[in-house]
Amino acid sequence: MFSEEVVINDLLSRVQKPARYLGNEWNSCLKDHSSVSAKMVFAFPDLYEVGMSNQGLKILYHSVNLHDDLLMERVFAPASDMENLLRENKLPLFALESKKPLSVFDVIGFSLQYELSYTNVLNMLDLAGLPLYSDNRSMDYPLVIGGGPCAYNPEPLAPFFDLFILGEAEEILPELLSELGRLKKTVSSKKDLLLQLSTCKGVYVPSFYQPLYKQGMLTEIKKLETQAPDAVKKCFIALLDEAPYPTSPVVPYIQAVHDRAVVELFRGCARGCRFCQAGYIFRPVRKRSMDRILQLSESLIQGTGYDEISLSSLSSTDYPSIDELVKEMDKVLSPGRVKCSLPSLRLDSYSVELADTLHHGKRSSLTFAPEAATERLRKVIRKNISEEEIFSALGDAVDAGWQGFKLYFMIGLPTETNDDVEAILTLCQKIRHSFKRRARGSIAISVSVSTFIPKAHTPFQWEPQLELSIVKERQEILRSGFNNMRGVDYSWHDSQASYLEAVFARGDRRLSLALEKAVQAGCRFDGWSEHFSFQRWQQAFNQANLKMEDYAYRRFEYQDCLPWDHLDCLTEKEVFIEEHKKAIGHNRDQESNK
């Protein structure tokens, strides 16, 4: 096997954005491979600029490299120009730090952030020279592991992976790697190795569980090894203040999607929006202390040289003493030289006030996510804000001088009708009219509409996705409506890409075949509209003898066996059922009122 360093200099002059492949960035960590007991490469199945914005990567890179006897390097999905060069020159995919091929590592760990990156995962394994299927890889190959939100239903990827980690890995990953280093010296078969590892917290070894089907329906997930847990429980950090957090993350040379320092205020979200997977899998809410946040922020700016710091979380204005924190931040970060930003604003007056204190200088636009335009539908999804609150918040923003709003909506939510969709138009029209006089200039609204995708481990996990043809109809209602509305910029998500995402989000193990066929047919970067080809995917599903609609449109019953039933996010199924009933109940209440 190829184990020399890959010489890339001659390739660099022939690709776009060569800085994606350089490594050697500030704070990157290059260790001697012979000095450690276990070597892992963190693989992000998307472009460098996307992956380098991922907070999970920064946290895990830090928490593993803290240990002298462990090392972690990075690799990202090569863009097609680099992929072609690698294939033409018969060069393997390499890690950025050492330029060594992926095959020399003990572990290749994929970050599974979104379903549409799955083809990149397989393509990267292929570029690394690894057999795709776990069964076909002996102990001489690296272990292929995965984590991140998609690991909560990784079934479509199951045959390709040796194990998944469920939950937050910053504490257990270093332990797992050390354990692996020890076991590799003593254990003789890969199965024994996996058996030992399957007893670690949060570890799911898919080959130890076998899904059984009757007449095409999943009926049972049979555990094959007694040692393996009946249900794999997610792992999570108990005390955020004590968890490792990177204050010297790698600073990219080229602009990443999020090119700033990030400090995490708290993990989890108490809001409980029913469509939101993050809201459930990151439970419970754990807060970082203000002292720790301030201390981390100061070190982050010192360690990176960034001029912006983002106060991140799923709903940052919910931080208990956020206004005090913002004031203290200003003192710590020499005012005017470091900007502070809040990424996830709630649509209320309090948040607008906060945004205003943070903002020195020109007020361009504020972003909010009402998600649905009628109060009825917002109750269904448990995004509990009233129209009155929306208007009072926007009014405050207008008075403070903000001139533009970015609004996020979803279509295809459970119980949605055409009326709910038309209400998006009405709401935007009303916003424009109400604030016309109050604003100094006219108000620019940009509306972005995505398609609802039911996800595992949410109260809507039993719900089907809205049929593609109706999604298109509703997008058309919006397109033609906004066409006649001045000052509103409308954008929408590709309905076919959202459909495919829905197929995989609640998919089972049989989908792995379609995935393999899709990669063979050339599918890559499916989340990028310029690469996405629905036609190729249709062919792949035909070859695999599977139907996309069986997955996307499937309505599960409460008693049905779900493909992720053996994976425990620590919220009981009863809670999801109750929440689901309440959601649908809101709809019924409304109808009986009519």
Nearest distance from C-beta of residue 65 to another protein, angstroms: 17
Q: Which amino acid is at 469?
A: S
DSSP string, 215-249: TTEEEEEEE--TTS-SSEEPB--S-GGGS---SS-
For residue 51, give both structure tokens: 């992956």
- How far CA 145 is from CA of 158, 183, 448, in Å, comes to 10, 16, 34
| Residues in CB range of 309: below 8 A, 6 or more apart | 260, 261, 262, 263, 297, 300, 301, 329, 333, 338, 339, 340, 341
Compare residues 3 and 9 and give the one whose CB is closer to another protein. 9
Compare residues 13 and 483 and give the one whose CB is closer to another protein. 13
How many distinct helices (H) and strands (E) make up the chain?
A: 20, 19
List, edge to edge, every strand of the sheet that includes 404-411.
365-371, 404-411, 444-451, 488-492
| Residues in CB range of 400: below 8 A, 6 or more apart | 352, 356, 363
Q: Look at residues 383, 577, 572 and name the one whose alpha carbon lies nearest to residue 461.
A: 577
For the four alpha carbons of 535, 537, 540 and 541, in that order, the dihedral sign comes to: negative
Compare residues 12 and 294 and give the one whose CB is closer to another protein. 12
For residue 450, give both structure tokens: 């995505």
Cβ–Cβ under 8 Å, residues 516 and 132: yes
Compare residues 131 and 401 and give the one whose CB is closer to another protein. 401
Q: Give rounded-to-5 percent helix, strand, coil for the chain.
A: 40, 15, 40
Tokens 């260790």 belong to which residue?
A: 31
Nearest distance from C-beta of residue 128 to another protein, angstroms: 23
Task: Report which DSSP code applies to 117.
Answer: G
Compare residues 337 and 440 and give the one whose CB is closer to another protein. 337
Compare residues 238 and 257 and give the one whose CB is closer to another protein. 257
Nearest distance from C-beta of residue 332 to another protein, angstroms: 15
Compare residues 10 and 530 and give the one whose CB is closer to another protein. 10
Nearest distance from C-beta of residue 31 to another protein, angstroms: 15
Compare residues 307 and 473 and give the one whose CB is closer to another protein. 307
Compare residues 9 and 188 and give the one whose CB is closer to another protein. 9
Nearest distance from C-beta of residue 7 to another protein, angstroms: 11
Please state, in angstroms and rounded to a whole number, the distance separating the CA atoms of residues 522 and 494.
Answer: 19
Phi and psi at residue 346, in whole multiples of 5°? -85, 155
Helix (H, G, I), strand (E, B) or coil at 43: strand
Compare residues 109 and 252 and give the one whose CB is closer to another protein. 252
Nearest distance from C-beta of residue 165 to another protein, angstroms: 32
| Residues in CB range of 9: below 8 A, 6 or more apart | none
Cα–chain center distance at 210: 27
Compare residues 114 and 253 and give the one whose CB is closer to another protein. 253
Cβ–Cβ under 8 Å, residues 508 and 211: yes
Nearest distance from C-beta of residue 52 to another protein, angstroms: 13
Nearest distance from C-beta of residue 101 to another protein, angstroms: 20
Nearest distance from C-beta of residue 294 to another protein, angstroms: 18
Nearest distance from C-beta of residue 40 to another protein, angstroms: 23
Nearest distance from C-beta of residue 401 to another protein, angstroms: 13
List interacting residues with another protein (CB under 8 A): 9-10, 12-13, 18-19, 22, 24-26, 251, 253-255, 301-307, 336-337, 361-362
Nearest distance from C-beta of residue 327 to another protein, angstroms: 21
Q: Look at residues 302, 290, 293 and name the one whose alpha carbon lies nearest to residue 338.
A: 302
Please state, in angstroms and rounded to a whole number, the distance separating the CA atoms of residues 196 and 185.
Answer: 13
Compare residues 241 and 307 and give the one whose CB is closer to another protein. 307
